[in-house]
Amino acid sequence: MRVVGGAVRDSLLGVELGDIDLATIHGSDEIMARAKAVGIKAVPTGGEHGTVSLIMDNAQETHVYEVTPLRIDVATDGRHARVAPTQNWSMDAHRRDFTLNALYCNEGGKIYDFVGGYEDVLIQHVRFIGVATTRIEEDYLRILRFFRFSARYAQGSLDEQGLAACIAQKEGLLQLSAERIKQELFKLLVAPFAGVVLSRMVESGIMNKVLSQPICLRSFIHLVEIERALNVSSSALLRLASLAGGDVATLKLWAKHLKLSNKESAHLVDFSRHVSSFTPDLSEATQKALLYELGHEIFKNCALLAWSLAQEDTNVSGWERLIDLPQKWQPPVFPLSGADVLALGIAAGPRIGEILSRLEQGWIEAGFKWDAAELAARLKKAI
């Protein structure tokens, strides 16, 4: 059994590891039997690929390792592959996508390289294994993976042969499911050199096959610059909103096209619907009212999006104060509830909500300074 793929690559690069995948000459039944023999929980999760998930618990956390038998592709249609088992490590390596993803490492730390991936890792070069067009025809998602890995591991530099193959095969992207495209696109959007790579994708006409409307690269690149300057984490949803220039209609189309969840779609609409309310010269009272209304996440993302859409990068300190507000001020909880209104003899019904809404709006406009006693007095007066 050997560690394969990303864990080997990232170990060589000295970056934080993600999932740890393993490959073995044994079939899934043998993997299950061996895991059971040493008390490791094993769950078959890979269908015809034979992948088995090994679940190992300790006092602090649970680790999951996916073990897959060596295999070769028997037939492919650009979306799925029909596979067969093999015990040949080189054949297993040659069916993978990029050289830097086809390295193996045994328990002693020895690296096995059948495709020249070791050198490509060291020079940070993303290159298809064998003939690029053949690799792409096996699975057209590899076009997006080529750009995503280049944005993460090659500082945005693109292998010219790989790029030419992706351009030639770009129509194949239309065969892919929305779910698979979304998964790769979201990973690409938050990659370190996404702006450089997206620019090449636009120039080559590939981006038109991924998203149905023209994209706004300027605001996307500006957003990335802002995030780096402020050392804030990246959000794929926010970066998608910046690609649309904050346009609600475009984002609704993209949400449908990518089959985003209801929550993701709602967040996109919230970003774009409220973004016009954010300017760097808002009064502190207005800022706090917006934060109270929208909550921490939507407020912060709207502020970042509004700044990224600004035509001129002026009043930087004002934008920074706006974005810092959720870290410095916690919105209070409105002290009154429907029970307080009922206790004063008002019958259950819509009038309760109307009374509370008016009082809450006054409380907000007063800068949240009315305490519970003041609000109780105003409630009695209102009734």
> What's the pLDDT tens digit per position in 192-212?
999 999 999 999 999 999 998
pLDDT, tens digit, 9 for 90 and up, residues 224-264 = 999 999 999 889 999 999 999 989 999 999 999 999 999 99
Question: Based on the number of CB atoms within 10 Å of its own CB, is 111 exposed (0-12), middle (13-18) or buried (19 or more)?
Answer: middle
In a domain, 159, yes or no: no
The residue among 310, 331, 352 that closes a domain is 331
Is residue 117 within 8 A of residue 102, CB to CB? The reply is yes
Integer Cα distance of 377 and 383 in angstroms: 10
Spatial distance between the Cα atoms of 373 and 88, rounded to a whole number of angstroms:
78
Which pLDDT score, from 0 to 100, does residue 261 have?
95
pLDDT of residue 241: 95
Total residues found in the chain within this entry: 383
Token pair in block for residue 364 = 């907000």
Determine whether 343 is exposed, middle or buried from the number of CB atoms within 10 Å of its CB (0-12, 13-18, 19+). exposed
Rg, C-alpha atoms of the chain: 27
User: Are 310 and 371 in a shared domain?
Assistant: no
Structural domain includes residue 90: no
Confidence tier at 131 by pLDDT (50, 70, 90): very high
Residue 289 clears pLDDT 90, i.e. is over it = yes
Number of domains the chain contains: 2
76 SS3 class: strand
Q: Is residue 121 part of a domain?
A: no
Q: Are residues 261 and 296 part of one domain?
A: yes
**Domain presence at residue 17:** no
Q: Give the global pTM.
A: 0.88
- Do 312 and 357 reside in the same domain of the chain? no
Q: Is the pLDDT of residue 320 over 70?
A: yes
Residues 6+ apart with CB under 8 A from 191: 148, 151, 152, 197
As given in the structure block, the two tokens for residue 39 are 């008390």
Is 27 a residue whose pLDDT tops 70?
yes
Q: Indicate if 362 and 377 belong to the same structural domain.
A: yes
Q: Which of 316, 331, 346 is the last residue of a domain?
A: 331
Average pLDDT on 58-73 reads 86
- Do 344 and 327 belong to one domain? no
Report H helices in the chain. Answer: 6-13, 28-37, 89-94, 117-123, 132-138, 141-153, 160-168, 178-189, 194-203, 207-210, 217-230, 236-243, 248-257, 262-274, 284-294, 296-309, 316-328, 338-342, 350-365, 372-382
Q: Residue 372's domain spans which residues?
A: 338-382
pLDDT (average), residues 105-134? 96
In this prediction, residues 302-316 reach a mean pLDDT of 88
Q: Is residue 363 part of a domain?
A: yes
What whole-number percentage of the chain has pLDDT above 70? 99
User: Is 71:92 a contact under the CB 8 Å cutoff?
Assistant: yes
Any domain includes 80: no
Token duo for residue 110: 């020895």
Question: Residue 59's pLDDT is what?
Answer: 67
pLDDT of residue 343: 87
Is the confidence at residue 76, as pLDDT, over 90?
no
CA within 13 Å, CB half, 354: 8
* Percent of the chain clearing pLDDT 90 (strictly above): 75
Mean pLDDT across 366-376? 91
Residues 260 and 302 in one domain: yes
In a domain, 287, yes or no: yes
Q: Are strands 62-69 and 20-24 parallel, antiparallel or unpaired?
A: parallel
Q: Residue 78: pLDDT above 90?
A: no
* pLDDT over 90 at 44, yes or no: no
pLDDT above 90: residue 113:
yes
Q: Average pLDDT, stretch 210-216? A: 88
Same domain, 346 and 291: no
Burial label, 247 (beta-carbon count in 10 A; 0-12, 13-18, 19+): middle
* Model confidence at 28: pLDDT above 90: no
pLDDT of 122 higher than 80:
yes
Q: What is the rounded average pLDDT for all residues in the chain?
A: 92
In a domain, 307, yes or no: yes
| Residues 344, 300 share a domain | no
Distance, in Å, from the CA atom of 25 to the CA atom of 50, rounded to the nearest integer, reads 11
Do 323 and 376 sit in the same domain of this protein?
Answer: no
Asked if 312 and 343 sit in the same domain, the reply is no
Classify residue 38 as exposed, middle or buried by CB count within 10 Å of its CB (0-12, 13-18, 19+).
exposed
Q: How many CA atoms lie within 13 A of 141 on its CB side?
A: 20
Whole-number pLDDT of residue 79: 72
**What is the CA 310 to chain-centroid distance, rounded?**
24
Tell me the pLDDT tens digit for each residue of 329-338. Answer: 999 999 999 9
Rounded alpha-carbon distances, angstroms, from residue 110 to 1, 66, 107: 12, 20, 8
- State yes or no: pLDDT of 58 exceeds 90: no
